[in-house]
């Protein structure tokens, strides 16, 4: 990591937010180091997955995640999900693949708004504790224990033998290196015409200064190892023949520093494969 750190270059996002608005620090990193940074980032999640938690700590963690969609930050995710439900034809199952699904945060939300009738869900989650909790709470739904690198090779056809309404990715793509995120999105476009999510979107259209051979990252909580990727979604989706739009303003200050997250929807462009 030391070598990579010396190759970080701080970049400014002042032109993207209102004067004085607090935001994360941003870094431009040589693209050749993206795997090193990604490995470093994964170690944060994998260390967390290996924590020896007491029963109470574990229960608190699971309860916390069950309520995730009710955090103020997630208001755009709730609105986005409601719009997907509103547009969904009545009488057909709503089928969802959820990458980085934790313990079924999305299902808990659907249940709370009484929208679980006819939902067919397959989640993907590397943390077995979350996956087990999801299975226990929603035994009729499915979850695969695995990570994003394995996602492109996963067989969803045999699990969901109907068209996939949407592939959902909430607060997970920015944890993936550009190469891994692009491979996951490509797989998603092979399964559905609609990809929805909630992610860091302040660089979705390449707004943050960087060179072609750099990737942009944000210091979300650097001391703990959380340095996330600020993906250029519009470019990624354009290459896949999908439109990309944010469905909320990418500026939601919560507790002082959360500027840049937004909900998004990406749709297959007519006439493109």
Chain residues binding ligand SAM by CB under 6 A are 42, 45, 68, 100-102, 105, 125-127, 130, 147-148, 170-172, 175-176
- Six-digit token pair at 25? 């620090």
Closest to ligand SAM by CB, 127 or 244? 127
Closest to ligand SAM by CB, 51 or 92? 51
Q: How far is the CB of 27 from ligand SAM (least distance, A)?
A: 19
Instruction: Name which of 110, 117, 268 is nearest 191 in CA terms.
Output: 268
Closest to ligand SAM by CB, 70 or 238? 70
- Six-digit token pair at 158? 């045999």
Q: How far is the CB of 18 from ligand SAM (least distance, A)?
A: 26
Closest to ligand SAM by CB, 62 or 148? 148
Reported as type and span, the H/E element at residue 181 is helix 178-191
Q: How far is the CB of 262 from ligand SAM (least distance, A)?
A: 13
Query: What's the CA gap between 117 and 114, in Å, rounded?
Result: 8
Q: How far is the CB of 76 from ligand SAM (least distance, A)?
A: 12
- Six-digit token pair at 223? 């001391």
Using CA of residue 130, residue 132, residue 135, residue 137, what is the dihedral sign? negative
Cβ 108 vs Cβ 86: under 8 Å: no
Q: Cα torsion at 226, 200, 149, 34 (round to 10°)?
A: -60
According to DSSP, the β-strands at 166-170 and 94-99 are: parallel
Q: How far is the CB of 108 from ligand SAM (least distance, A)?
A: 9
Q: How far is the CB of 198 from ligand SAM (least distance, A)?
A: 6
- Six-digit token pair at 130? 């979350």
Other beta carbons less than 10 A from residue 93's beta carbon: 15
Q: How far is the CB of 270 from ligand SAM (least distance, A)?
A: 29
Closest to ligand SAM by CB, 67 or 92? 67
Q: Which residues partner with 199 through β-bridges?
A: 262
Closest to ligand SAM by CB, 9 or 78? 78
Closest to ligand SAM by CB, 148 or 204? 148
Instruction: Name which of 173, 151, 162, 155 is nearest 244 in CA terms.
Output: 173
């Amino acid at each position: 990591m030391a070598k990579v750190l010396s190759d970080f270059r701080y970049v400014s996002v002042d032109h993207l937010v209102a004067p004085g608005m607090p935001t994360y620090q941003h870094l431009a990193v040589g693209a050749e180091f993206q795997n090193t940074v990604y490995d470093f980032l994964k170690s944060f999640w994998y260390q967390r997955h290996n924590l020896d938690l007491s029963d109470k700590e574990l229960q608190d963690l699971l309860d916390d995640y069950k309520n995730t969609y009710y955090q103020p930050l997630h208001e755009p995710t709730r609105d986005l999900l409601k719009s997907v439900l509103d547009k969904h034809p009545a009488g057909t199952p709503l089928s969802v693949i959820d990458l980085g699904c934790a313990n079924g945060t999305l299902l808990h939300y659907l249940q709370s708004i009484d929208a679980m009738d006819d939902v067919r869900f397959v989640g993907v989650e590397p943390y077995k504790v979350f996956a087990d909790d999801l299975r226990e709470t929603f035994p009729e739904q499915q979850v695969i224990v695995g990570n994003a690198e394995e996602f492109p090779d996963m067989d969803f056809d045999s699990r969901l033998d109907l068209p996939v309404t949407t592939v959902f990715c909430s607060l997970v793509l920015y944890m993936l290196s550009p190469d891994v995120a692009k491979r996951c999105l490509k797989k998603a476009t092979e399964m559905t015409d609609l990809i929805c999510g909630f992610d860091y979107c302040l660089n979705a259209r390449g707004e943050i200064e960087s060179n072609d051979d750099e990737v942009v990252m944000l210091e979300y909580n650097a001391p703990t190892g959380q340095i996330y990727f600020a993906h250029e979604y519009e470019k990624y989706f354009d290459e896949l023949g999908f439109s990309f739009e944010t469905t909320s303003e990418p500026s939601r200050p919560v507790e002082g520093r959360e500027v840049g997250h937004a909900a998004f929807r990406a749709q297959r462009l007519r006439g493109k494969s």
